[in-house]
């Protein structure tokens, strides 16, 4: 597609999407005829992910590397998406960071790092995307990536869990201001998921298979399928909601440390 040419198909923007859940979201959306702007902090990872998707679905994915916690970059990211594809219809705040640490010794620098990406990044991506969608007068969909740690206490994740619970409250609150513009907004809270990162943790899959009622942790496609539904036209009457995808773990909540 030529720059500035208006797409007749939906256009999505996904942050933190070079690997794992974010990558699978981009791949699945592209497979369903949605143009995707893929963002990751790391330029080589961004380029590799875009090339991989385009081998399957040619010209459906473009990349724009940068820091999704930087509000100035977020503005550029939205503008670049519109410049490349002609519109923005779906924005998914998937980028996030986890910094483990005991509450009594948790450092302010780590606290600020978690909130800057998880909360500030998500808030201002939604704001910038909403302004574009309102200007287009065609509605749209926003989605925050939350976590089961926003629902159930998890050892050494006080700041992270707080940030994820806050995103779910933000999704509810924005219903008041965005519904008149036909923009729906929801959150998804994944549980344990096998990704490139978690697969390297010793005993991760075994532990979470043992304590998850469905007998196994999720895979990225399990999360991506739910995302694809919530940002689809079929889900436009669903807004302000949070969907937990955890194989039943939050129903019983056994600790992985026991």
Q: Any idea which residues carry the catalytic annotation?
A: 160, 164
> 80, 15 in Cβ contact below 8 A?
no
Of the candidates 139, 153, 156, 166, the one whose C-alpha atom is nearest the C-alpha of residue 233 is: 139
Q: In whole angstroms, how far apart are CA 51 and each of 84, 157, 218? A: 16, 35, 25
Q: Which two tokens stand for residue 162?
A: 């707080």
CA distance 93 to 85: 19
Residue 47 CA from chain centroid, whole number:
19
Q: Which two tokens stand for residue 24?
A: 């699978």
Residue 112 CB coordination number (10 Å): 13
H-state helical runs in the chain: 20-31, 43-56, 71-85, 108-115, 122-136, 158-178, 204-211, 220-230, 249-252
Residue 54 CB coordination number (10 Å): 16
Contacts of 160 by beta carbon, 8 Å cutoff, 6+ apart? 98, 99, 100, 114, 118, 147, 149
Sign of CA dihedral 32, 38, 42, 45: positive
Residue 134 CB coordination number (10 Å): 16
Of the candidates 13, 19, 24, the one whose C-alpha atom is nearest the C-alpha of residue 197 is: 19
């Amino acid at each position: 597609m030529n720059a500035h040419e208006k797409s007749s198909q939906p256009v999505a923007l996904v942050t933190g999407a070079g690997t794992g859940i974010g990558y699978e979201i981009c791949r699945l959306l592209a497979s369903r005829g949605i143009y995707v702007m893929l963002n990751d902090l790391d330029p080589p990872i961004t380029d590799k992910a875009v090339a991989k998707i385009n081998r399957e679905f040619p010209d459906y994915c473009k990349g724009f590397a940068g820091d999704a916690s930087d509000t100035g970059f977020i503005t550029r990211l939205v503008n670049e998406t519109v410049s490349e594809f002609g519109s923005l219809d779906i924005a998914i705040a998937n980028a996030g960071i986890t910094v483990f640490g005991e509450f009594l010794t948790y450092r302010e620098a780590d606290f600020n790092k978690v909130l800057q990406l998880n909360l500030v990044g998500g808030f201002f991506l939604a704001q910038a995307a909403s302004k574009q969608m309102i200007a287009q007068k065609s509605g749209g969909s926003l989605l925050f990536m939350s976590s089961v740690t926003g629902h159930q206490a998890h050892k050494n994740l006080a700041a992270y869990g707080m940030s994820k619970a806050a995103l779910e409250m933000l999704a509810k609150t924005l219903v008041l201001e965005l519904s008149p513009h036909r923009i729906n907004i929801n959150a998804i809270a994944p549980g344990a998921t096998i990704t490139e990162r978690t697969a390297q943790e010793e005993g991760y899959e075994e532990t979470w298979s043992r304590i998850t009622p469905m007998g196994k942790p999720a895979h990225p496609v399990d999360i991506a399928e739910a995302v694809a539904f919530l940002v689809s036209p079929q889900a436009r009457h669903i807004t302000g909601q949070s969907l937990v995808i955890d194989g039943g773990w939050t129903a019983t909540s056994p600790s992985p440390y026991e």
